Amino acid sequence: MEVSLLGIPVIAGYGVIPIREYWDKDVVSLAINAVQNLVKSTGLKDFDAIYVGNMLSKYYEEQASISVHLADELGLEDVYALDVECGDASGAYAVLEAIKDVLSGESKIVLAGGVEKSTDELPHRLYRGISLSEDIFLVDYIGLTNLVNHAIALKMYIRRYNVDKADITYLSVLDHENASKARHAYFRFPIKLDTALNSPPVADPLTLFDISPNIDGAAFLLITTDDIAKEYNLNYVKVLGYGYSVNRTRFYERFDPTTLTAAKRASQQAFKRAGINTSELDFIEIHDSTTIAGVLALESIGVHGSGTAAKYIRSGVHRLDGELPINTFGGLKARGNPLGATGAYAIAEGVMQILGEAGGNQVKDAKIGLIHSMNGFDLSSIVFILGGD
Amino acid sequence: MTEISDWRYRIERYRLIGVRCRRCGSVYYPKRSKCIKCGSSDLEEVELPKRGRVVEYTIVRLLPDRYNRFHPYAVALIELDDGTRIYGQLTDVDLDKIHEGMEVEATLRKLYEYGESGQIVYGIKFRPVLSR
Ligand SMILES: [Zn+2]
């Protein structure tokens, strides 16, 4: 566990909005709505610092410095306000900045999360936007998109381990099943495997149901120490460990293309800090921006051996009522993938599970959970291990 | 990218100019400043071979508007004749007939153009080798 003279870093509150298409709201308004929910449930409205994860507002709405505008709208003064951009892991990286801030003693009560207003763009501009974490030379001169690495890795994986693609796509069935009960999820209905397999191709062999929808959302967390949380009578979840790493940005130069090396290193750091191993986890939130990304993430964080995760997912052990539930509110595929907010949603969901506030999605006796978030196809990855008191 | 950066990268784009590590011989495209195999920073510019074979590929169907007129197109992981791996967009090919191991060669093509300045951006794509 991360030990500091200042106490243990904890997450002592969350505020999310349902992931939807908010045609009548801008990016800062979405963030405000999520923060208002957090303020309502915690009673705290003054923060020493705010960290806002966002991927594309500079590109879509051409609005920079969201954190400063958010601070202004929230009426905060003398606050440290910083935008955090790390692709679709931005929200998770913003939370880590908050944790490090609290651990350093600089700030005591910190607001961190993410927001994305994906629907402000027309589809073709969106497709370039969500590809912008990739090397722009490849995006503009070769036509690389965010899905190319996923699709090629999927083909390599199937070839290398002789896996049935249906077993991989089954992750979207599991996601939809979990999201069907989740109020804040985007796709609140179950699907059949056949529907997923027969959906239109998007980057062959990936089909529409293998990829996650880029919708609007905002999620924020309150980060402080255990002592301060107790002082304010707040229920909290401890940050037992965290880790982060980067991978080769050019997929074709990776030495092991079917391992998410950044996720692997990040999880190893997190397990080491927490002093636990995979067998002690009660649930996992993985970054399944595509089904293959989710499968590879489960293997890379050490839950399953290479080439085996899809079979386990298909077997049911990762369902909500299974041995080790994953994506307990539907993951990126069905809860939705509001890019810069996605990682913050996953963390908020982990907090809900451990605090027993997950409603119809509650995992029984959820005490320790792992949250994985990543930028693109493992350009970088970040992992948190959260635990109850 | 903008008109200026398109101009800056024109030569490496037209002629497939990458870098070769003087210590271990690894070749990279586009250029990088350090060898990821051996860590050396002693790299020299090199023109890559213009032929290779498809290792894996995908067909891109959700794409940026600047590539609308090529919808859908294939992006392949290509191993060039010297063993260097790169990504390349395929052209002049029946999408149903692409296969792993398919021999391809570089060809200079128009990529996109700017409406206001009228600047046309060319680059390398790969097409099937018809006969050997
Ligand atoms: Zn070298």
Of B89, B49, B46, the residue nearest B70 (C-alpha)? B89
Mutate to test the interface with B, among A252, A255, A290 (most CBs of B within 10 A): A252
pLDDT of B77-127, one tens digit each? 999 999 999 999 999 999 999 999 999 999 999 999 988 888 999 999 999
Q: Is B36 on the interface with A (CB under 8 A)?
A: yes
ipTM of predicted assembly, 2 dp: 0.96
**pLDDT band for position A313 (cuts 50, 70, 90):** very high
- Tell me the backbone φ, ψ of residue B100, rounded to 5 degrees: -60, 135
pLDDT of A180-236, one tens digit each? 999 999 999 999 999 999 999 999 999 999 999 999 999 999 999 999 999 999 999
Q: Which of A11-15, A122-126, A196-200, B32-36 has the weakest average pLDDT?
A: A122-126
User: Is B61 within 8 Å of A202 when comparing Cβ atoms?
Assistant: yes
Q: Residue ranges of the alpha helices (H) in chain A?
A: 27-42, 66-74, 90-104, 123-129, 136-141, 148-161, 165-179, 193-197, 226-231, 261-274, 291-300, 309-315, 342-355
* Domain boundaries defined on chain A: 9-121+214-231
Q: Which chain B residue has its CA at the smallest distance from A136's CA?
A: B1
Of A253, A251, A141, the residue nearest B124 (C-alpha)? A141
- Give domain A9-121+214-231's CATH superfamily: Thiolase/Chalcone synthase (3.40.47.10)
User: Is B70 within 8 Å of A152 when comparing Cβ atoms?
Assistant: no
Q: What share of chain A is helix, strand, coil (3-state, %, to 5)?
A: 40, 20, 40
Token reading at A64: 């920079």
How far does the centroid of ligand 1 lie from the alpha carbon of residue A178, in Å? 48
pLDDT of A113-126, one tens digit each? 999 999 988 888 89
Phi-psi region of B39 (alpha: psi -120 to 50; beta: other; left: phi over 0): left
> In which residue are the tokens 């052990």 written?
A317
How far does the centroid of ligand 1 lie from the alpha carbon of residue A188, in Å? 51
Answer yes or no: is pLDDT of A79 > 60. Answer: yes
Question: Which residues of chain B make contact with A204, given a CB cutoff of 8 A?
Answer: 58-59, 61
Q: Average of pLDDT values for B16-29? A: 98
Q: Average of pLDDT values for B5-33? A: 96
Answer yes or no: is pLDDT of B132 > 60. Answer: no
Q: Average of pLDDT values for A61-88? A: 97
Answer yes or no: is pLDDT of A3 > 60. Answer: no
Residue B35 CB neighbour total at 10 angstroms: 21
pLDDT of A232-251, one tens digit each? 999 999 999 999 999 999 99
Answer yes or no: is pLDDT of A44 > 60. Answer: yes
Question: Which residues of chain B make contact with A261, given a CB cutoff of 8 A?
Answer: none
Q: Which fold has domain B49-132?
A: OB fold (Dihydrolipoamide Acetyltransferase, E2P) (2.40.50)
Percent of chain B with pLDDT over 90: 87
CA distance linking residue A148 with residue A135, whole number of Å: 13
- Tell me the residues of A at the B interface, defined by beta carbons under 8 Å apart: 123-125, 127-128, 131, 135-145, 147-148, 151-152, 155-156, 200-206, 248, 250-253
Q: Average of pLDDT values for A147-152? A: 98
Q: pTM score, two decimals?
A: 0.97
Shortest distance between the Cα of A94 and any Cα of chain B, in A, equals 27
Terminus-to-terminus CA distance in chain B, angstroms?
37
The pLDDT score that the predictor gives to residue A382 is 98
Answer yes or no: is pLDDT of A70 > 70. Answer: yes
Between the alpha carbon of residue A30 and those of residues A24, A145, A351, the distances in Å are 10, 27, 21
The pLDDT score that the predictor gives to residue A349 is 98
Q: Is B123 on the interface with A (CB under 8 A)?
A: yes
Partner residue opposite B60 with nearest CB, options A123, A140, A145 = A145
Question: Which residues of chain A make contact with B87, given a CB cutoff of 8 A?
Answer: 138, 142, 144, 148, 250-252
Q: Is B57 on the interface with A (CB under 8 A)?
A: yes
Answer yes or no: is pLDDT of B131 > 70. Answer: no
Partner residue opposite B1 with nearest CB, options A127, A136, A144 = A136
Mutate to test the interface with B, among A134, A141, A150, A211 (most CBs of B within 10 A): A141
